[in-house]
Structure formats: structure tokens, C-alpha cells
Amino acid sequence: MRSIINLSTIIMTAANIADTEGLDAVTLTRTAEKLNIKKQSLYNHIKNLAHLKCELIIYANAQLRQHLIQAVIGKAREEAILGAAESYRNFAHDHPGQYQAIISLSWEFKDDEKFQASTHALMEILFKILSAYQLHEDYLTHAVRGLRSIMHGFISLENSGWFHQPIDKDESYRLLLQTFINGIKSIEKK
């Protein structure tokens, strides 16, 4: 019995391919093979490869957002930042293809309204976490940019194999985040 093919199953299949085989392996041909259908059948649900990749980013944004929400429930300020940062890093390690799609393909689809909404929803989590600190509006934006840069920068270097010292990487990440948190506390409105 053939499984039901719809946009959701196509996107989840593409996400699985990205995570297990790499983002470059996400093609219409490979997706159809994984679904055990003809490539032409995909066109009943998607326009082309660009449409599939845009939907993949939207899906990945939603998945990362859910991970972050689960990590920060019941937490505030420092605990929320540390929880979100750990969850963000875990997502990047557990879903490398989806994470790469979010980071490397997003600008290709910056004018797509669904993409914009998914990105806004994802970033809203970081703004909510950091809004617990009494920061001027511009500083809140700087803080969100800074936190995201710290998380992504560390993950990128880690995934590229740059951390060769026998010192614990988890501790390095926590220290970096603690330094960020101390900096945020120092610029809170008095």
C-alpha cells in the first residue's frame, strides 16, 4: 500500500535527507526516490526545487522554535538564556541539514512571506527571553544579535573541527554565555 503524499510528507522527507545525507543531497530526484514515487509526482505539491528548499527552511525554523520553547518553559533571565542556548546547539548537532538550511539558504527566500513569518516567529523567542532584562530598545536588538552570533559562531567553529584542545567544549560554551549574560546585566537600565 502506497503512503499518502502531501506537502508535509515531502518536506519531512527533504528534512530527513538534509540531516542524514547533507543539504546538497536535497534534490527533487532524491526526494522522490526516498518517497518511492516518480519525480513528476512532486509537482502536484511543489513548484520546483527552490520552493522545496524554502518550505524546508520554514519547517526547520518551526522545529528550532519548538525546541527553544520547550527549553525555556518556566525559566527566566539567565536560566532561559542558558536553556535556549543549549537547545539551539543541540538542534544544530541533531539536525545539521536543517540548521544549515536556516543559516545558509535564508537570504535566497527573504522576500517570501511565509519564510518571513517563520523567521519572525523564531526570532521572537530570543526577543522574549532577552526582554526579561531591562534594556533600551536598541540594546535589546543588539543583545539578540549578540546571542545568536555567539551560538552560531561557537557551533560553526565546533562543527568545523576547530576545538582541538582537550578542554571541555561544553564548559567553553557555558563560559562564553556567562560572559554574555554578565555583559547584558551591566547595561540594564537602572
Instruction: Decide if pLDDT at 106 tops 50.
Output: yes
- Please report which confidence band the pLDDT of residue 1 belongs to, taking 50, 70 and 90 as the band edges: very low
How is residue 133 written as a grid cell? 532584562
Query: Does 13 reside within a domain?
Result: no
pTM: 0.91
Would 107 be classed as within a structural domain?
yes
The verdict on residue 152 lying in a domain is: yes
Q: Which domain holds residue 173?
A: 57-186
Q: What's at 187, amino acid-wise?
A: I
What total number of domains does the chain contain?
1
Residue 27 falls inside a structural domain: no
* Structural domain includes residue 28: no
Question: What average pLDDT does range 127-149 have in this prediction?
Answer: 94
Q: Which of the four pLDDT bands, split at 50, 70 and 90, describes residue 10?
A: very high
Assigned domain for 69 exists: yes
Mean pLDDT of 112-119: 93
Q: Kindly state the percentage of the chain with pLDDT values over 90.
A: 83
Cell digits for 25? 543531497
> How many C-beta neighbours within 10 Å does residue 14 have?
30
Residue 167 lies in a domain: yes
Q: So what's the pLDDT on residue 105?
A: 83
Residue 70's domain is classified under what CATH number? Answer: 1.10.357.10
Contacts of 21 (CB under 8 A, 6+ apart): 30, 97
- Of the candidates 102, 144, 96, 149, the residue with the CA atom closest to the CA atom of residue 123: 144
Average pLDDT, the chain: 93
* Average pLDDT of the residues in 121-129: 96
Q: How far apart are CA 160 and CA 174, in angstroms?
A: 19
